[in-house]
Copies of this chain bind each other. A is one copy, B any other.
């Protein structure tokens, strides 16, 4: 069910960055440029609006053959038939979410330390989001842990890992070489002048080390 290869170029959405286009439009261009998995992250919407956005993104990603992951909300993941749910530190613990979603939906967990990664593994996480790899402008509270931390987490858990935080076409290879199965990006694609070209360049950079 969980296909590690789909982590290769993982787009995490941020509605505010889509600007004059809709999030769906930008995401479609990004997928055509090379994005292999999409995580819908909505921290500002109420449940009804998040659900509406998730149904729309489900339809888009299904049409383009890309897995859809819902950030935080197991209920919305279940409601729209998402492929996965991603859980950060302020979201539900992995073991609680697993009881709700069963084994039909994969679970990703954010881990910033070997200890957190091992806890997530024991609880049944299918992959880990590890970062921040590099300093980033997306989140103000980000702690940069670097590619060496990713290497340690990979060695300790053996789980598929996607490196996130400040990853771009120039440094993507170093993340992959540290043991990641893919790179996760937000603004490197969504804030790009040319979304298609940005996704294409990131995809090529991530593939360089394969």
Residues of B within 8 A of A91 (CB): 46-48
Q: Determine the main DSSP class of A at the interface with B.
A: helix
Q: What is the CB-to-nearest-CB distance from A79 to chain B, in angstroms, rounded to a whole number?
A: 5
Considering the chains assembled together, what is the distance between the CA atoms of A51 and B72 in angstroms? 12
Residue of B nearest to A55 (CB): B96
Q: Which of B46, B93, B99 contacts A48 (CB 8 A)?
A: B93
Residue of B nearest to A45 (CB): B90
Considering the chains assembled together, what is the distance between the CA atoms of A91 and B47 in angstroms? 5
Cβ of A156 within 8 Å of any chain B Cβ, yes or no, is: no
Beta-carbon contact of A78 and B100 below 8 Å: yes
Beta-carbon contact of A46 and B100 below 8 Å: no
Q: Which of B72, B75, B96 contacts A74 (CB 8 A)?
A: B75
Cβ of A64 within 8 Å of any chain B Cβ, yes or no, is: no
Beta-carbon contact of A51 and B92 below 8 Å: yes
Complex copy number for this chain: 2
Cβ of A204 within 8 Å of any chain B Cβ, yes or no, is: no
Beta-carbon contact of B75 and A99 below 8 Å: no
Q: What is the CB-to-nearest-CB distance from A139 to chain B, in angstroms, rounded to a whole number?
A: 15
Residues of B within 8 A of A75 (CB): 73-75, 78, 92, 97, 100
Given contacts A75-B73, A75-B74, A75-B75, contact A96 B51 (CB under 8 A): yes
Cβ of A155 within 8 Å of any chain B Cβ, yes or no, is: no
Beta-carbon contact of B92 and A47 below 8 Å: yes
Beta-carbon contact of A89 and B47 below 8 Å: no
Q: Which of B51, B73, B79 contacts A47 (CB 8 A)?
A: B73
Considering the chains assembled together, what is the distance between the CA atoms of A93 and B46 in angstroms? 12
Beta-carbon contact of A79 and B92 below 8 Å: yes
Considering the chains assembled together, what is the distance between the CA atoms of A39 and B89 in angstroms? 26
Considering the chains assembled together, what is the distance between the CA atoms of A73 and B78 in angstroms? 12
